[in-house]
Amino acid sequence: MSRLVNWFDDKKIAVLAIMIFVLSVIPFFYLAHYARPSGDDLGHARFAHAAWLDSGSIWEVHKAAIHTVKISYNGIAGEWLAYYINSFMPEVFAPYAFWIGCYLFILSVVIGMAIFSFYFLRRIFGAGWEYAAILSVIILIFTMQYNPNSNISFYWFTGGVKYILPHPFFLLALVFTGKFLIAKSRRYIILISICTFIVGGISYSHSLLVFMIFPILFVCLFRKAKHILWLLIPYIICFAAFIFQAIAPGNKARAGSEFGFDFTSVLFTIINSLKLEFTAPIQYIERVPLLLVALVSVTVFGWLGMTQAIKKGKALISFQCPLLYIAMIFLINSALNAPRIYAVDFMGVDNATSGTMVVEWLFYILTWASAILYIEGWLIKKYFSGGAFAKTGKFGFLTDESRFRRNILLPSLLLCLAIVVWHKGNLKDSFAYQAYVYVESGAAAEYKWRIAEYMEILLDDSVEEAYLDPINDRQGPLLHWTVMEDETNYVNWTYKAFYRKKRVVLREE
């Protein structure tokens, strides 16, 4: 067993982890070819689609997108940049091109989070590439497989733009910020500004994080790095884009006349957000018990990575304020709760939950994994690497890689296996399993066949009145808004507007 443990070192584990992750995302890409635009996807892109059909000009599509933004900004909601991007939904330009958008959202999460986690683990925390790879894979697998609303995240273009697309740009803004602070090159200010502009124009939640994290950087680093003042440029850009969202007449038009800024509601939102974050870990583990596997894995591999980094002097941070760091992580996650609590609990908006839950989940494992690593870095530096415990020699196995692997890592991996066996039912909640059931049951094939019938009718210019057969709206991991008997229904209207029909009606059985 000892020889096996030593042979199967962390580099081999990293390669195996990457292979497992690659296999785990195949179902996401596979189902993309079954997905179809639904509801708002068609409604928001109707002007752009008409412009493309009539002119074949990207410039005309751009003008139609601006027109869409004006209408949506005044009558629906303030996410002005989201509505502009919605106008470029792939189906605008070619039938059956919707999968391109699905690929975009899947890849944006994978690439964005991989770049962010690998950069900070490798460059800032100083861990070896194998530990950066292992930890990045753990975070990504759980983030992807247990997304609370994968259908609106990856298979609904409108949802992907609003809830997924800002995420990688926010993470890239932090990566470019780190590079700017180290290299002092002002070209990174341009890249950061592009990222914060996109964040500010689409997402309230991600904008709030910009408003929290950048001031923290100003306070903590100003005395040592005066060039940090250049970050005011992307900060102001994000703030301006965010304010333009917030003052949109469409916010009140959609949410009701009572929606607006109320100081008392804001105060109680802050209090409730903080209270919710105290119970959030329990709630997440109750929903996904296998998060315990992620917790154990991050802890043991993180310890190995941080030990190596500190011993070799590669960490760029000093790990001096663990309580402050934990408080910052706590406040960041609390801030992510705030938009949902304010809209639902105090403004009476009943459709603001699903999307914000996605955003909260995207950050949850990432932020708390970083907190674990920071605490480990502090412990290793203060007590185990030349500190008080190192002098006694009693805890040498914690900083000796070979002994740690035998005494801690191996039992921890066996514990993870036991957790998986005990909570094996939670494996069925994963996206991969849900996708397998959806395809294996024949539901995916039937959906694809039904959609082909729809498209044959909708793409036929000689058909002015489209009579469509019903399709079950329970499409597993996919999203489908059904056509209703009432032809004035919103879904019927979106099909009618996008495909330019006089009527779209559910066929009588």
Closest CA to 315 of 303, 324, 306: 306
pLDDT higher than threshold 90 for residue 171: yes
**For position 27, what pLDDT does the model report?**
96
User: Residue 85: which H helix or E strand, with range?
Assistant: helix 80-86
What separation in angstroms does the CA of 496 have from each of 41, 155, 157, 499, 501? 13, 21, 19, 6, 5
Q: Are 378 and 389 in contact (CB under 8 A)?
A: no
**For position 160, what pLDDT does the model report?**
93
pLDDT higher than threshold 90 for residue 208: no
Its pTM stands at: 0.89
Closest CA to 119 of 68, 172, 72, 157: 172
Q: Are 164 and 153 in contact (CB under 8 A)?
A: yes
pLDDT higher than threshold 70 for residue 347: no
Residues 65, 395: Cα–Cα separation, whole Å: 63
The residue ranges of every structural domain in the chain are 2-34+100-164+248-433
**For position 249, what pLDDT does the model report?**
84
Name the pLDDT band for 272 (thresholds 50, 70, 90).
confident
What are residue 465's phi and psi, to 5 degrees? -115, 110
Structure tokens at 358: 């996605």
For helices 204-221 and 353-379, angle between their N-to-C axes, nearest 10 degrees = 30
Q: Are 82 and 160 in contact (CB under 8 A)?
A: no
E-state strands within 351-490: 465-468
- Maximum alpha-carbon separation in the chain: 86
pLDDT higher than threshold 80 for residue 391: no
Residue 365 CB contacts under 8 Å (≥ 6 apart), including other chains: 139, 142, 143, 291, 294
Q: Which of 64-68, 243-247, 293-297, 406-410 has the least mean pLDDT?
A: 406-410
Q: Which of 49-58, 429-438, 468-477 has the least mean pLDDT?
A: 468-477
- Amino acid identity for residue 242 in this structure: F
Q: Provide Rg for the chain, Cα atoms.
A: 25
Grouping H, G, I as helix, E, B as strand and the rest as coil, residue 179 is helix
Name the pLDDT band for 106 (thresholds 50, 70, 90).
very high
Q: Express each pLDDT in 354-387 by its tens digit.
A: 778 888 889 888 888 999 999 998 888 877 666 5
Taking all residues of the chain, what is their mean pLDDT, rounded to a whole number?
A: 86
Percentage helix, strand, coil, to 5, in the chain? Answer: 75, 0, 25
Q: Are 122 and 129 in contact (CB under 8 A)?
A: yes
For helices 353-379 and 99-119, angle between their N-to-C axes, nearest 10 degrees = 20
pLDDT higher than threshold 70 for residue 394: no
Q: Which of 59-68, 166-175, 392-401 has the least mean pLDDT?
A: 392-401
pLDDT higher than threshold 70 for residue 210: yes
Over residues 392-409, the mean pLDDT reads 71
Query: What does DSSP assign to residue 407?
Result: I
What are residue 175's phi and psi, to 5 degrees? -65, -45
**For position 175, what pLDDT does the model report?**
94
Q: Are 198 and 237 in contact (CB under 8 A)?
A: no
**For position 183, what pLDDT does the model report?**
86
**For position 322, what pLDDT does the model report?**
86
Residue 259 CB contacts under 8 Å (≥ 6 apart), including other chains: 251, 252, 347, 348, 349
**For position 253, what pLDDT does the model report?**
60
Percent of the chain with pLDDT over 90: 48
**For position 415, what pLDDT does the model report?**
92
Closest CA to 335 of 139, 175, 204: 204
Residues 457, 50: Cα–Cα separation, whole Å: 18
Number of H helices, E strands in the chain: 25, 2
Query: What does DSSP assign to residue 465?
Result: E
Residue 323 CB contacts under 8 Å (≥ 6 apart), including other chains: none
Q: Which of 187-201, 381-395, 486-500 has the least mean pLDDT?
A: 381-395
Over residues 116-135, the mean pLDDT reads 88
Residues 46, 40: Cα–Cα separation, whole Å: 10
Query: What does DSSP assign to residue 155?
Result: S
Q: How would you label 151-169 residue by residue, b for 16+ Cβ within 10 Å and e otherwise?
A: bbbbbbbbbbbbbbbbbbb
Q: Are 141 and 20 in contact (CB under 8 A)?
A: yes
Q: Are 292 and 419 in contact (CB under 8 A)?
A: yes
Over residues 61-75, the mean pLDDT reads 93
- Amino acid identity for residue 13 in this structure: I
Q: Express each pLDDT in 1-39 by its tens digit.
A: 556 666 667 888 899 999 999 999 999 999 999 999 988
Q: Are 317 and 125 in contact (CB under 8 A)?
A: yes
Q: Which residue has the higher pLDDT, 334 or 457?
A: 457
